[in-house]
């Protein structure tokens, strides 16, 4: 049986028309679905930033850094307590009002327990076990279990480990022959934070300034690289969480997590076999695993304006059973946070000190007034150092933004004329744009000026605590804030005692924020000099 050319041509013509019809129908459905999702705030009667089709409200064309893009979005409605944006097609609410931030993070915390889910437990079980990613009752129980490992008394236990790394850092540069050692600060300081985390959380001793290519440091850099394909993973989850779960997208590559897990498992095995006790985070997590940790505070001095405390909501709950997998995950996320955020904080602090020599001189005099060996209590007792650190975290918060996801329906009651009740359904996301809030002239006059006097005894009561959130706010604040502050303050005290931090020919003034990084970073690096005293 033969098919004529005419019949064959008609067959292909019909199929072509059919496929074109299906394609147009699918495209039309996709267009309508996207437009419907991106009309969410309009239907709610909420002021919002008009989104670009599919791409959303936040600029993605790399003409500005992520921090500045969020700041621009924050400033669109200066007189509103909140307004809507779109992360691709997902609606989010930018929160700008102090009382509303307090409601979300403290007063009505039970409605806002979680961060937005980045990936599912099925897709990435290792990531989902850490405290930051944990949700609902597991988070409450896990926070209660881990909190005793981060009290001031435990920081005192680990102080000597951190001190050894800080002194090793200083000695390295004291041995240099040059009068002024020119350095790219982010790379230099990340080597210090790497060594601190290696010894305090993983039981390893590194010297990343001398052994620049050690495996631990290289793996740490890889773990903290959120450019290229890593950004694509986050974008894919923002566009289609369902597809990301189906593809089982992991946050961190398996070879990186396997490396860190192997270190911890070997350390735990040796400690148990040889009955070794080392005053570090693994020991504290093993004690938590045995249920031996109690929530106690021993510090009798003020830990500083930027320090945060644990909520009573999580202090006396039942303890979460801690497995070796949990220890692996907690230690790893502790490393991620400590490696990147502390080195960023130190980088921008030294930049401001180089640009403000009068502030640097005053701080040096305070540090030099300390008699004898530096101790935990002496570091915390340096009041002007705390003022400088608080102002640095105000001007350059390493966490550009944080979020809360609605756990159960919540109504934002109207306060201003023209506002209506706003129902936030379960799953809705609220953004707390930290960088934008900290640089808002309504809350911090002349915000671009680096002014530690904002945090003096006479002035700090003028700051609304809801609008100063470098470590987050409420029960879900950063559990490692004490450790980060101690690690940073100790190194700053040693640096200023031995060196003058100076500008060099490579120092960019003003700083230009890197457009390719999600994290706060200086374009082309942050170049400064250590001048021997």
Give the residue from 479, 511, 472 showing the smallest Cα distance to 186: 511
From residue 191, alpha-carbon distances to 107, 194, 198, 204, 344 in Å are: 40, 5, 10, 14, 12
Handedness of CA 457, 462, 465, 468 (dihedral sign): negative
Report residue 34: phi and psi, to 5°.
Answer: -65, -45
Q: Which two tokens stand for residue 284?
A: 């504290």
Handedness of CA 360, 363, 369, 373 (dihedral sign): negative
Cβ(165)–Cβ(245) below 8 Å: no
Give the residue from 319, 340, 337 showing the smallest Cα distance to 329: 337
Segment holding 236, helix H or strand E: helix 229-239
264/326 Cα distance (integer angstroms) = 11
Burial group, residue 340, by CB count within 10 angstroms (0-12, 13-18, 19+): buried
User: In the 8-state DSSP scheme, what is residue 514?
Assistant: -
DSSP of 424-477:
E-TT-EEEE-HHHHHT-TTTSSSTTS--GGGGSTTTGGGS-GGG--BTB-GGGS
User: In the 8-state DSSP scheme, what is residue 84?
Assistant: E
Half-sphere exposure of residue 506, counting CA atoms within 13 Å on the CB side?
13
499/516 Cα distance (integer angstroms) = 32
Pairing of strands 429-432, 402-405: antiparallel
- The answer on whether 478 is annotated among ligand-binding residues is yes
Which residue(s) pair with 92 in the sheet?
Answer: 85, 429
* Distance linking the first and last C-alpha atoms of the chain: 99
Give binding residues as ranges: 478
Give binding residues for heme as ranges: 478
């Amino acid at each position: 049986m033969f098919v004529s050319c005419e019949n064959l041509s008609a067959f292909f013509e019909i199929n072509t028309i059919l496929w074109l019809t299906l394609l147009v129908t699918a495209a039309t459905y996709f267009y309508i679905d996207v437009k419907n999702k991106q009309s969410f705030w309009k239907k709610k009667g909420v002021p919002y930033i008009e989104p670009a089709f599919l791409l959303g409200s936040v600029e993605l064309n790399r003409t500005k850094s992520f921090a500045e893009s969020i700041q621009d979005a924050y400033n669109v409605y200066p007189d509103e307590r909140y307004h809507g944006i779109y992360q691709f097609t997902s609606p989010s609410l930018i929160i700008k009002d102090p009382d509303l931030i307090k409601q979300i993070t403290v007063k009505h915390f039970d409605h806002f327990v979680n961060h937005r889910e980045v990936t599912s437990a099925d897709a990435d079980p290792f990531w989902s076990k850490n405290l930051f990613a944990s949700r609902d009752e597991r988070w409450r129980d896990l926070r209660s279990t881990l909190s005793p490992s981060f009290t001031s008394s435990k920081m005192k236990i680990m102080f000597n480990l951190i001190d050894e790394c800080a002194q090793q850092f200083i000695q390295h540069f004291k041995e240099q022959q040059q009068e002024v050692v020119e350095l790219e600060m982010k790379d230099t300081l990340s080597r210090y934070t790497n060594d601190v985390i290696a010894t305090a959380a993983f039981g390893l001793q590194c010297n990343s300034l001398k052994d620049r290519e050690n495996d631990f440091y290289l793996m740490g850099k890889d773990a903290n690289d959120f450019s290229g394909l890593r950004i694509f993973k986050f974008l894919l989850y923002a566009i289609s969480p369902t597809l990301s779960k189906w593809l089982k997208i992991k946050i961190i590559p398996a070879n990186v997590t396997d490396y860190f897990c192997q270190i911890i498992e070997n350390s735990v095995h040796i400690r148990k076999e040889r009955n070794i006790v080392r005053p570090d985070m693994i020991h504290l997590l093993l004690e938590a695993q045995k249920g031996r940790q109690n929530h106690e505070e021993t510090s009798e001095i003020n830990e500083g304006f930027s320090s945060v405390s644990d909520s009573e909501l999580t202090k006396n709950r039942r303890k979460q059973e801690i497995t070796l997998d949990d220890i692996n995950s907690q230690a790893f996320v502790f490393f991620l946070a400590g490696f990147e955020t502390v080195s960023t904080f130190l980088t921008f602090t030294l930049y401001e000190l180089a640009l403000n020599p009068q502030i640097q001189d005053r701080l040096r005099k305070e540090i030099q007034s300390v008699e004898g060996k530096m101790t935990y209590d002496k570091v915390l007792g340096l009041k002007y150092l705390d003022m400088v650190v608080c102002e640095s975290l105000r001007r350059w918060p390493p966490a550009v933004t944080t979020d809360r996801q609605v756990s159960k329906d919540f109504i934002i009651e109207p306060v201003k004329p023209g506002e209506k009740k706003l129902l936030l359904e379960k799953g809705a996301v609220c953004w707390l744009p930290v960088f934008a809030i900290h640089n808002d002239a309504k809350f911090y006059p002349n915000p671009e000026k680096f002014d530690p006097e904002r945090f003096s005894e006479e002035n700090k009561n003028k700051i609304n605590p809801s609008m100063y959130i470098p470590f987050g706010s409420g029960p879900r604040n950063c559990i490692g804030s004490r450790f980060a502050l101690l690690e940073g303050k100790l190194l700053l005290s040693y640096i200023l005692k031995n060196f003058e931090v100076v500008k060099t020919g490579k120092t960019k003034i003003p700083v230009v924020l890197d457009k390719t990084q999600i994290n706060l970073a200086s374009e082309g690096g942050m170049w400064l000099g250590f001048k021997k005293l």
